[in-house]
Amino acid sequence: MNEERTNYLESGSGDPPDQDHLDNLRTLLREEAMWAEPPARVGDELMREVAVGSEPHMIGKRSPWLAIAVILGALFVAVAAAAVGLFEERADFVIAMTGTDLEPFATGEANIRATGSGWWISIETDGLPPADEGTYYEGWMWSDEGQGVSIGTFHLHSDHEPVILWSGVDPDGYPSVWVTLEDEDGDPSASDRVVMMGRTGD
pLDDT tens for the chain, 202 residues: list them: 455 555 554 555 555 556 666 666 667 666 666 566 655 565 566 566 555 554 544 444 455 555 666 666 656 655 555 554 544 456 788 999 999 999 999 999 999 999 988 999 999 999 999 999 999 999 999 999 999 999 999 999 876 678 999 999 999 999 999 999 999 999 999 999 999 999 987 6
Domain of residue 176 covers 93-199
The pLDDT of residue 59 is: 46
Q: Compute and round to an integer the Cα radius of gyration of the chain.
A: 25
Same domain, 101 and 184: yes
Same domain, 114 and 80: no
SS (H, E, C) 173-188: CCCEEEEEEEECCCCC
The predicted structure's pLDDT at residue 149:
96
DSSP 8-state class, residue 82: H
Q: Is 128 in the same domain as 193? A: yes
Query: What's the number of domains the chain is made of?
Result: 2
- Distance, in Å, from the CA atom of 152 to the CA atom of 166, rounded to the nearest integer, reads 7
Length of the chain: 202
Do both 54 and 99 map to the same domain? no
Q: Do residue 106 and residue 177 come from a single domain?
A: yes
Are residue 63 and residue 119 in the same domain, yes or no?
Answer: no
Same domain, 109 and 80: no
Q: Are residues 123 and 74 in the same domain?
A: no
Of the residues 30, 53, 88, which one is the last residue of a structural domain?
A: 88
Same domain, 79 and 102: no
Of 38, 65, 88, the residue that ends a domain is 88
Q: How many CB atoms lie within 10 A of CB 132?
A: 10
What is the per-residue pLDDT for 36?
Answer: 60
Q: Which residues pair with 93 in a beta bridge?
A: 112
Query: What is the pTM assigned to this prediction?
Result: 0.56
The residue among 70, 88, 106 that closes a domain is: 88
Of the candidates 70, 87, 52, 75, the residue with the CA atom closest to the CA atom of residue 11: 70
> Are residues 66 and 38 both part of a single domain?
yes
Residue-level pLDDT at 17? 56
CATH number for 193: 2.60.40.200
Residues 193 and 98 in one domain: yes
Tell me what pLDDT residue 174 has. 95
Same domain flag for 142 and 160: yes
Check residue 90 and give its pLDDT.
64
Q: How far apart are CA 23 and CA 91, in angstroms?
A: 39
